[in-house]
Structure 1
Amino acid sequence: MSFQAYIDNIQKKTGKSPEDFKKIAEEKGFLQNGALAVKATQVTDWLKEEFELGHGHAMAIYATLKGKTE
C-alpha cells in the first residue's frame, strides 16, 4: 500500500486530514514549535486508542507529524 493510500484510508475512516491531526497533536502538546516533542509510541498509542487506527496507519500519521510525506 502506498503512503498516500494510507493517508486516504485514514481520512475516510476518521474524517480527519493530516493537517487536522497536526492541530490536535499541537493541542495535546505532542508538537512544540512545529517539531515532535514525544516519542512515536505516545503518538501511535493515542491514535490507536482515540481513532481506532491500526499500527501502520498510526505510523503514517506519525510520519506526517515528523514532516515525512512519502
Structure 2
Amino acid sequence: MICDICGKTGARIRRVTRSYGKGPDLLVIENVPVISCPHCGESYLTAETLHEIERIKLHRQSFAVERPVAVAAFA
C-alpha cells in the first residue's frame, strides 16, 4: 500500500481500539482500521473510516454493547 503522506510503498493497515468521549458518554470502538507507514512514521484514518466512525457515534444504541470497564487514574 502507498502512504498518502510520504508516497512510499509499505504502509500497512493496523486494527486498533479508539475511545471517544468520557465518563458516561464514553464510546469505545474496536477494530478501527488505521493506515500506518514504517517510513515516515505517520498513522492516519481514511475518509471512509472517519465517516463510519461518525455513523457509529450517531447511532451508538444500534451498534454498542455495554461492558464493565476497569478505570485507573494516573497519579
The normalised TM-score by structure 2 is 0.30
Higher Rg of the two aligned structures: 2
- Structure with the higher helix share, 1 or 2: 1
Return the structure number with greater relative CO, CA threshold 8 A, min gap 6: 1
The normalised TM-score by structure 1 is 0.31
- Structure with the higher strand share, 1 or 2: 2
